[in-house]
Amino acid sequence: MLELQDAFARKFHYLRLSVTDVCNFRCQYCLPDGYRPDGRKSFLTLDEIRHITRAFAAMGTNKVRITGGEPSMRRDFTDIIEAVASTPGIRKVATTTNGYRMAERVADWRSAGLDAINVSLDSLDPRMFHQITGQNRFHEVMAGIDAAFTAGFEQVKVNTVLMRGLNDGELGEFLAWIKSSPIQLRFIELMQTGEMDELFERHHVRGAAIKEKLLEAGWQQRVRAHNDGPAEVFWHADYVGEIGLIMPYAQDFCASCNRLRVSALGKLHLCLFGEYGVDLRDLLQSPGQQAALQRRLREALADKKATHFLHQGHSGMTPHLASIGG
């Protein structure tokens, strides 16, 4: 099998597949004014999703993360999970969600083949949660996380975007929360995107400060496996949970890049902060197009850059991460 490999010898076995741009939250760093419907957009159909997944799987992809917007806003979300999970070669199906409908549906998602779930939770203080996400749904999301454990997930990853002056003083509360829960809590550095005004300057805080505190408190960094993603993971003998740090501004962050993205509009994105998307949709219309689709993917990959250009202030064409799935 000819794997997907770029000019820097990085291999890509992980696809982040966005299934919708729509979201019901208004996170300050993503869609502060909420999702603005655009009647002309049509998101990938179930058949198109099947064709994409098959082509990637035929080139060595074994993990697919279904994302968005908010993926659980899709009425056929469970069918999407099932379609991806039943594709030969796909060994891990994951999703990233804001927790919407999770408490009621997570058991169905698991039965459909979902292996891993990442939930966004920016604060353990319900009022701060509301302030950051624009939604008064803290307890709903927490109930969703509990329901995931009840449904049989052994670990849940929780994503917390670090924001100076908002949630950056909550380390103690978060640590107490994961002391006896199998949660991998990941602090994510705020990333600058095209539609952000001065929010980035106001709230960006380096994950390195948390790393120092963790090391001082006896946390140890897990040795990275070669196929691990970009999170640095820390463990402590007194804690069931773990801490992950996602620090895209750190040196060499992109050296371990192992993922490609397809947007809900069917475009291949070589980087979260790339300059363009490669349209795939014309080759998603029948199974007979798979060879041509694979050729297009391989040719496109030749142009993947070594890293993002965030340090120079360029966030590419990405207006906000809901447009590409994060």
Ligand X SMILES: Nc1nc2c(ncn2[C@@H]2O[C@H](COP(=O)(O)OP(=O)(O)OP(=O)(O)O)[C@@H](O)[C@H]2O)c(=O)[nH]1
Residues binding ligand X: number (CB under 6 A): 19
72 binds ligand SAM (CB under 6 A): no
Regarding 138 and contact with ligand SF4 (CB under 6 A), the answer is no
Judged by beta carbon distances under 5 to 8 A according to partner kind, the member of ligand SF4, ligand X, ligand SAM, none in contact with residue 231 is: ligand X
Nearer to ligand X, 47 or 276 (CB): 276
Q: Does 190 bind ligand SAM (CB under 6 A)?
A: yes
Task: Indicate if the alpha-carbon torsion angle 197, 310, 128, 25 is positive or negative.
Answer: positive
The length of the chain is 326
The reply, when asked if residue 127 is annotated as ligand binding, is no
Q: Which of 17, 27, 145, 262 binds ligand SF4 (CB under 6 A)?
A: 27
**Residue 221 binds ligand X (CB under 6 A):** no
Other CB atoms within a 10 A radius of the CB of residue 101 amount to: 18
188 binds ligand SAM (CB under 6 A): yes
Cα 81 to Cα 79: distance, rounded to the nearest angstrom: 5
Helix (H, G, I), strand (E, B) or coil at 163: coil
Rule CB under 6 A: say whether 191 interacts with ligand SAM. yes
Which long-range contacts link 294-303 to residues 24+ away (Cβ below 8 Å)? 294/55, 294/58, 294/59, 296/268, 297/4, 297/55, 297/56, 297/59, 297/268, 298/2, 298/4, 298/59, 300/268, 300/270, 301/4, 301/5, 301/6, 301/12, 301/260, 301/270, 302/6, 302/7, 303/270
Amino acid 96 reads T
- Fill in the amino acid letter for 221: Q
Tell whether 111 is in a known binding site.
Answer: no
Residue 271 marked ligand-binding: yes
Is position 165 annotated in a ligand binding site? no
Asked if 157 is part of the footprint of ligand X (rule: CB under 6 A), the reply reads yes
Is 68 an interacting residue with respect to ligand SAM (CB under 6 A)? yes
Q: Any binding-site annotation on 304? A: no
Residues 191-230 vs ligand SF4: string with x where CB under 6 A? ---------------------------------------x
User: Torsion angle, CA of 126/132/133/134, rounded to 10 degrees?
Assistant: 90
Phi, psi (rounded to 5 degrees) for 166: -115, -70
The packing angle between helices 138-150 and 102-112, to 10°, is: 30
Query: Residue for token digits 């302030």?
Result: 131
Selected binder of ligand X within 134, 207, 274, 326 (CB under 6 A)? 326
Q: Does the annotation place 259 within a ligand binding site?
A: yes
Where along the sequence are the contacts to ligand SF4 (CB under 6 A)? 23, 25, 27, 30-31, 68-70, 98, 120, 230, 248, 254, 257, 271-273, 307-308, 322
Residues that bind ligand SAM (CB under 6 A): 23, 29-30, 67-68, 70, 96-98, 120, 159, 161, 188, 190-191, 193, 321-322, 325-326
